[in-house]
Every structure is written in C-alpha cells, then in structure tokens.
Structure 1
C-alpha cells in the first residue's frame, strides 16, 4: 500500500504523552520528529500560544490537556501533554481519564487519540511507579488506545547494575560487559513485573537509552500495538526518511 493511498482517511497521528517531570519526554519527542527545536503549542481554537503552557509547575500557569503540541519538522504528529497529572489530585486524574475515554472513542479521525506514550524513568527502578501512576494502570481503562510504557534513562540502570557487580568483585570492564547483557532481563523480572498485578497494564513496553537516537524501538512497538492496519500504515509513513521502519511494515514511500 502506497502512503498516498491512506492519507484520505487520517491526516495526523495523535499521542497523549504521560510521565512525571524530568522523565525525558520532550527529548524523546524531538528524536521522533527528528529535530532539536522546541515544540509549538496551540489551543483549542487553533491559536499558537507560548511555551509557558508546558513549562515546569509554577511557570506554566493553567495547563490544558486539550492544547496541541507540534514540531515544525513533522507536523503530522499531534501531542497532548498530561502535565499536572503527576501531582496526584482527583481532579487531574479525572481530566486525563475523561480525555482518554472521549478522544479514544471519537469517530472523527481528526480528533481521535491513537496512542499513549507513558514515560517511566528507570534510574530509580525501586520506585518505578508513583501512587498516581499505579492508580492509572489500575483504574484508567484506555479501551482500544494502546499504552506504550517507555522506560527512559535505562543507561543509568545499566550503570547501577555495573556498580553492583563491581561491589561483588568483578573488575570495571567485565562488570560493564555483564551489566550490558543482564540488566534488561533483571529489570523486567524485578521491576517491570509490577504490571502483572495491574488491571490495565501497558500494551507494549521498551527500554530506551540516550544512544537510541532515532527511537526506532518506540516506533516499532507503537506500530505493532495499533489494531487498525490503515492507522498503522499512516503511523509508519509519517516517519519521514526512516526507511528501515517503512520497509519493516511494508509501506512504500
């Protein structure tokens, strides 16, 4: 199927971005959109507004989850930021819950929510989920919208594993080699297994390091999780010049 054959149905791919402050969210979105520029923010009237709308806490003023965040390098992505959700208030939780429910069921392609990217920093694995995050995976039914758990800063977990192995008697080089091999399985079994006890666990998950410049694994997991083949092909074709992803999912540029 050619990219032009599917654009009639969907023009944009809409993602709800979730995760606590300093989880590396903006950096990952920049990588996905192949840019180092800051995003442009638009309100529900389509008017561009200042970046203060996504600034940290006291700087941001009143945050609105309906605001759209886009990057000029790839405007076919539309991102929504759940910022404020991490404070754990009942009001903020309901705002996010209602947004997912309404946008996930919206029949208008231009308003539909297509995926949720939930960023969870792996550098403090023993506290992988906060209280509000646990509540999200226990109580918030995403319906048909896939939730992708992204374990960010995974290189820090690898280094922590290396430090442990050094304390057990391995030299630095051997410890790093072993940590690079074993850290992923250890993290999955020891920490990510918490999702097995959740009512609404992620559809997919992945471990992301700073060296993963193009975020190919995130793109692959998201594409795999999409239930609609046409939507999957749209998602793949908006990746621009990422020919490896296009080839994997059979989209001709």
Structure 2
C-alpha cells in the first residue's frame, strides 16, 4: 500500500486503544510499562482531554479505584491509549455494568478514534489455585465482546517456578536439586493452569479469542512479543493489524515479520 494511503488509514482510525481488565494485583501497570518500553508512569487524561496529575491517580490505580474513561498514555510510545478497569475484587454488579456499558459504547463508537480495538484481561498466576473468580467469569458470560477481541493474559507466570520448587522439596529433594529440576515441572504446572482456565471459560458466551502467559514483567528485558503477536492475530482488519504493529517502535523482529506478510 502507498505510504500516503497508509497514513490516511492510521489518521482515520487514530491510535491503538486497549481496555486492560484485571485485579489490582495482576501487574497491569508493569505490563503496560514493558509494552511501551519504559519505567515511567503514564500521563492520564480525563474524558474531556484534561491532563490529571499522575501522582494523584497512581494510588487509585494501585487500589483499582478510578474512572474507566480516563486515558493512560506513555510518552515513550504514544501510539497506544490504555483504559484501566477497576479491579474485580469489589465483586460489584454496578462495576460490571459500568464495564459492559463502556465496552458496548466504545466497540460501536461512530468515531473510529474513540473505539477500543482490543481487551487485555489479566489474571495473576500467583493465585493459580483459583485463577478465575466468579465475577470475572460473569464478564465472559455477560459482556458482549463479539466485535472486540479479548486476549486473556496470564501474568506473573514465573510464580509457577516457585510452586514447582515447593512441590519438589515436599517430595524429598534438596533445595539445590529442586531448583535444578523446577523448570520442567513449572512448564507442566503452567500448562495445567492454562487448561483449567480455558475449560472454565470455554462454555461462556463470549470466551477469550487468545491466551498468553507472561513472566518477569518487572524486568526491563521481559518479552511482550507473545502478547503483541496474539493481539495482532486476533484482529479482524488488516488496517488494525498494521496499526498495532506500527506502534512497536522497539520490536523490529515483529515489524519486519508482519511487513513481509
């Protein structure tokens, strides 16, 4: 496609807009920082486009109390606009209703730049015994996401290694032996949790369109490539695929791969 035509398409759609859903301990802020290759806090704008002091909202972000309409933008990569939902800990029907309304309105917004293009639903594997809460399952049953791909992001997957070490020690191994053998068992445990989550959500009316697991997002070298690939592949339109790939200023491999495609 001619570069001028591509630019017109991007200007028509706007920036790539993502709704991030998850509990307040799911590592959402850290995940977004890795995606945007920064350690800085995002700039926050209200629905009127007015900038809010990020230090004022940071506490509310950590506790999960904030306005879903607020836009989070990282200056390191302003091609993304994020909306962060309130955590599900509250278990409030009102909160679920607000989220359903937001998805409904933003999925069908008349102005393309106001639409959400993807949803990242984060579940921390530090709570693998009960990975999907009842309130979260209600989202997949009652929130119409037919026109917006939902990617279920299993965060803190490195917790599986600690769990594996504990199980091996309980089985009679020394700490040194357990650490050396934990990798294989951690992979098996992760596969088991993923299967449980997929089986639980498979019967829902609007199940996720993709599943990814991410580990060590607190490290600057952490790899977000699986999430970006999964999101890109889940998108229906070629223009949206090009848009999300174009935001990856530091992911040259992904840019080249999809440019060739």
Unaligned runs of 5+ in 1: none
Q: Which moved further from structure 2: 134-143 or 222-231?
A: 134-143
Mapped partners of 2:157, 2:4: distance in 1: 37
Shift of 1:76: 1.4
Q: Which moved further from structure 2: 107-116 or 194-203?
A: 194-203
TM-score normalised by length of structure 1: 0.90
Shift of 1:44: 1.4
Cα 1:182/1:4, change in 2 over 3 Å: farther
Q: Is the 8 A contact 1:16 1:82 kept in 2?
A: yes
Shift of 1:189: 2.6
Cα 1:15/1:58, change in 2 over 3 Å: closer
Q: Is the 8 A contact 2:64 2:85 kept in 1?
A: no
Cα 1:144/1:251, change in 2 over 3 Å: farther
**Deviation readout 1:51-100 (Å, 9 max, x if unpaired):** 33352379887x32111110111111111111255412222111100110
TM-score normalised by length of structure 2: 0.87
Mapped partners of 1:18, 1:86: distance in 2: 12
Match of 1:217 in 2: 226
Matched, 1:55 2:64: no
Mapped partners of 2:215, 2:62: distance in 1: 29
Match of 2:252 in 1: 243
Residues matched between the structures, number: 251
Unaligned runs of 5+ in 2: none
Q: Is the 8 A contact 2:86 2:95 kept in 1?
A: no
Mapped partners of 1:183, 1:69: distance in 2: 34
SS of the aligned residue for 1:110 comes to helix
Please give the residue correspondences for 1:29-178 in structure 2 after superposition, counting only pairs within 5 Å: 29-51=32-54, 52-56=56-60, 63-83=66-86, 85-170=88-173, 171-178=177-184
Shift of 1:180: 4.1
Shift of 1:251: 6.4
**Deviation readout 1:25-54 (Å, 9 max, x if unpaired):** 000100111111101000111110123335
Mapped partners of 1:149, 1:84: distance in 2: 15
